[in-house]
Amino acid sequence: MIISFDIWDTIIKRKCHPEETKLYTAKYIVLKYENQLKENYKNIYEILKLRNAIEVEECKKNKEMGKDEECRILEVFQKLQKEIFKGEIQDISEELLREEIKQEKKVIFINPEILPIFEKYKDLKKYCISDFYMGAEALKELLDSLDLPVKFEKIYSSADYLLNKRTGNLFKKAEEEIGIKPKEHIHVGDNQFSDIEMAKSLGIETIKMTKTEFNFIPEKGRKFEFDLSSIKKEDKLFNTGVDLAPLLYFFGYSIVEYAIKNNIPKVYYFTREGETFIKIHELIQENNPFGVPIPECDTLEVSRMATFSASMKEFSILELLRLWSQYRKQSVQALFKTLAIDRKPYEVFLEKYEINAKEDIIEPWFDIRIQKLCADQEFVEKINQDLKRKRQELLAYFEKRKGITNNEQPMFVVDIGWRGTIQDNLAHIFTNKKIDGYYLTLYDFYNLQPENTHKISFIDDKDIRDNEVSDMITLLEWIYNPGTASVIEYQQGEAIRKAKTEEMAIVKQYIKPLQQGMIEGAKIINESMKYHPYQAEEAKQCVYDLIKSIKNNPSKELIEAYYSMVFNDTFGSAEYVEKEKKLSTIEKLNILKCRNKLREETWKEAFIVYHNIGYMKALLNVKSTIRKILRKG
């Protein structure tokens, strides 16, 4: 008497649908070979669909040759690669098999229901009989990885014999080799027809196992499998952060995916928001959902202020227009703060041209006093020395702390957005480098783009960018604030930072709990992504839906955090930005006052929630309805 076991859903189970393991292999192909793929097959679902079609074709061919409808995975992979690649490549079928086995090891676990059966029949010799496209060698490797408490004499796989249990032929083949009759055979399995009905029809005693059912639709836009509710607790700010986790995680996931596809060895995250973004990169490095090597990562201590003066070729109106295109009104005092240059040595020149340092000058490039200042050779020579020093100090920091010099080695940088000004500044400094930038989202550029730059964004839907993100830009900067000081300049190869005590305190009170929730939520999502493969592009709709929800129905906790903000806006304006205090009860009852204030607000829904003036939302809805009617008319 012997006992045999089916393998899948009998001895071992998966944490995902079987097709998702195949989908992982498709994703591996896209990650590693995207540039060599035909355009249609840069979509993992198209590769999966073709693979399944080839399997069907191979099964049909083998049946016509007198075997059962079975196939061998290496033959499937060989045909697959001939179809999906633009030209001839070396045979990667063995490589794909190794990757698929590696992924199977990640997703399988011992079926707890099988352990009592192992114990009950511990004195019988044990065999495996499985309908599967991998052979016995691969199946043995998978079983051995689980350290099972039993020994199997042999594994009979349909892929080795091109015979299966559905026809009964694999049972017969096993019994013939083992030298037993059906009445001496017990079989354990989950498939009602192949493992139970067919085996019984042959006279084999059977034991039925529970089959696991998964919801899986093999197409773009399928539902994500993670559940964030399990980690929520009494801390409402933490829970709000958990809800925001997809926004942080999928941005980070898309960065890593892009870097893998483009063979980028290292990703540099700009401070300050990058100090939060890099945590997702590090999370992915520690618990890799991609299955391929992850690029290295580091932060670059930069800011618009610390890089702009260093990027200037000279002090001239043409160079300053890169700044003034963003700040059409600026005082000379703000200009010197933006350049991080002490104004005192230049007071004599300001007096000479009757320039009040505190005066806000509209369109400074047209102001005759500024024109004269920029034409003053003594002034220009003096300040150009300061600009040269600024560049030398920046270069010293980059070389000493990051090993970056002005050579031809490309650089890949990440920032939150919105115009990529810091990247532009670096491109003007590191003129020999190609600098690629990846952003949460991007808006139209103010300045002519340096030839050695390229920029892309994660949120690339124009409607979402202009109708939702634009209203919440300050929130998106605020929730990623790491609570560290801003870089203002470089000295002796080090980045010099300046902090506003009030900002740091408020970040600790409001933003850190949010970020803790975001990170813990990101861990849940990342764990799910190990078993349920997706391309980064698929996550965009999830992110867009979340952004719409935040914008239109923000939670009270998020709004309290938003209106607590104090952040440094020294570049350009030389100011700190703070949100105003809540309206008094009397002010709330003043409809005209509320309406006027609401008009000044970028994010109107947040203003309504913060001041608890829900009646204004009804007015907004009426106006929105009227606009829609007028547009239709």
Closest by CA position to 298, among listed 225, 401, 408 = 401
Q: What is the pLDDT, as a whole number, of residue 445?
A: 87
Task: Note whether residue 217 is domain-resident.
Answer: no
225 contacts 261 by C-beta, under 8 angstroms: no
Checking if the pLDDT of 597 tops 80, the result is no
Domain check: are 378 and 419 in the same one?
no
- CA-CA distance, 115 to 148, in Å (whole number)? 9
Checking if the pLDDT of 574 tops 60, the result is no
- CA-CA distance, 509 to 563, in Å (whole number)? 13
Domain check: are 8 and 111 in the same one?
yes
Measured between alpha carbons, how far is residue 306 from residues 301, 368, 454, 573 in Å?
9, 28, 21, 15
Domain with 415 in it: 248-303+406-563
Domain check: are 325 and 184 in the same one?
no
Mean pLDDT computed over 490-503: 89
Checking if the pLDDT of 625 tops 90, the result is no
Identify any residues that bridge with 494 across adjacent strands, giving them in sequence order: 491
Checking if the pLDDT of 16 tops 80, the result is yes
Domain check: are 395 and 411 in the same one?
no
Domain check: are 625 and 553 in the same one?
no
Specify the CATH number for the domain of residue 69. Answer: 3.40.50.1000
Checking if the pLDDT of 606 tops 60, the result is yes
Task: Note whether residue 172 is domain-resident.
Answer: yes
Q: What is the pLDDT, as a whole number, of residue 290?
A: 95
pLDDT in tens, 278-306: 999 999 999 999 999 999 999 999 999 99
Task: Note whether residue 606 is domain-resident.
Answer: yes
**Residue 630 — very low, low, confident or very high, per pLDDT cuts 50/70/90?**
low
Residue 351: exposure state from Cβ atoms within 10 A (0-12, 13-18, ≥19): exposed
- CA-CA distance, 372 to 383, in Å (whole number)? 15
Checking if the pLDDT of 576 tops 50, the result is no
402 contacts 299 by C-beta, under 8 angstroms: no
Checking if the pLDDT of 570 tops 50, the result is no
Domain check: are 77 and 138 in the same one?
yes
Checking if the pLDDT of 436 tops 80, the result is yes
Q: What is the pLDDT, as a whole number, of residue 220?
A: 83
- CA-CA distance, 414 to 329, in Å (whole number)? 29
pTM of the model: 0.90
Domain check: are 203 and 319 in the same one?
no
- Examine the fold and report which residue of 536, 563, 590 is the final residue of a domain before the chain moves on: 563
Handedness of CA 113, 118, 121, 125 (dihedral sign): positive
pLDDT in tens, 47-79: 999 999 999 999 999 999 999 999 999 999 999
Domain check: are 372 and 470 in the same one?
no
Domain check: are 287 and 410 in the same one?
yes
Domain check: are 287 and 151 in the same one?
no
The 3-state secondary structure of 280-334 reads: HHHHHHHCCCCCCCCCEEEEECCCHHHHHHHHCCCCCHHHHHHHHCCCCEECHHH
Instruction: Return the number of other C-beta atoms located less than 10 Å from residue 588's C-beta.
Output: 16
511 contacts 561 by C-beta, under 8 angstroms: yes
Checking if the pLDDT of 568 tops 50, the result is no
- Examine the fold and report which residue of 505, 534, 563 is the final residue of a domain before the chain moves on: 563
Q: Give the sheet arrangement for strand 266-270, strand by strand.
A: 296-300, 266-270, 411-415, 435-439, 453-457
- CA-CA distance, 128 to 171, in Å (whole number)? 10
**Residue 632 — very low, low, confident or very high, per pLDDT cuts 50/70/90?**
low
Task: Note whether residue 368 is domain-resident.
Answer: yes
Domain check: are 169 and 289 in the same one?
no
Q: What is the DSSP-derived secondary structure letter of residue 146?
A: T
- Examine the fold and report which residue of 400, 427, 443 is the final residue of a domain before the chain moves on: 400
- CA-CA distance, 529 to 32, in Å (whole number)? 18
